[in-house]
Amino acid sequence: MTHLHTLLSEPWPWYVAGPLIGLTVPLLLIMGNKSFGISSSLRHICAACMPANIPFLKYDWRKEAWNLFFVAGILVGGFIAGSWLPGPEPVEVHPDLAEDLAQYGITDYSKLVPSDLVSWDQVFTLRGFILMIVGGFLVGFGTRYAGGCTSGHAIMGLSTLQWPSLVAVICFMAGGFFSTHFLVPYILSL
């Protein structure tokens, strides 16, 4: 048991985690014809809490409540993994990345979510504001505009061979590369 716990606590390699994530697709389909997708939960939350007579938010979100159960589960899964299966410290990253981040004073590798960037102290700095609030806004706006996120387009969409999803995924990656190489260095130096 202890051995198993140690094994599970180690970071899981991609060839274990990837196939497990892929199995979410048939799991949700077989459970009840549900298409794997997470960003929709944000829309259902808007529809449930603040529809404001907007046509895009006027639908019966209760029919999609499974999605809210699913994301509530993700939150609890995060808690379980964080509490009972803590990984090794410090978090291992590529030495070039660590060297680059050190220039911006990012040296805390105790957590997967770097406290130097994403924490309550940081929300009120310009850097933290852009990373968390502007970044979060773009995630919410962009995924809905695109009609899906990494789960809905990259995994579910590509698994069902949808070419519009391939277009979306290429754009996700293009946006990410642009952001990482042209915006992030500037933002981190703020």
Partner 1 sequence: MEKNITHTIPQQAETTNTDFEVRSLDAMCVNESQLEHKWYHKIKYWVAGVLFGIILVKAEVISWFRIQEMFRLQSFHMYGIIGSAVVVGALSVFLIKRFKIKTIYGEDIVFHPKKFNKGQIFGGLMFGVGWALTGACPGPLFAQFGAGATAVIVTLLSAIAGTWVYAYLREKLPH
Q: Which is nearer to partner 1, 58 or 189 (CB)?
A: 58
Residue that is written with structure tokens 């990253």 in the block: 93
Q: Which is nearer to partner 1, 1 or 29 (CB)?
A: 29
Q: Minimum CB separation from partner 1 for residue 4, in Å? A: 13
Candidates 61, 63, 86; CA nearest to 9 is 86
Q: Which is nearer to partner 1, 74 or 103 (CB)?
A: 74
Q: Minimum CB separation from partner 1 for residue 105, in Å? A: 15
Q: Minimum CB separation from partner 1 for residue 86, in Å? A: 9
Question: What is the torsion angle, in degrees rounded to the nearest 10, for the CA atoms of residue 129, residue 102, residue 174 and residue 140?
Answer: -30
Q: Minimum CB separation from partner 1 for residue 50, in Å? A: 6
Q: Which is nearer to partner 1, 80 or 105 (CB)?
A: 80
Q: Minimum CB separation from partner 1 for residue 44, in Å? A: 8
- Residue 188 near residue 106 (C-beta atoms within 8 A): yes
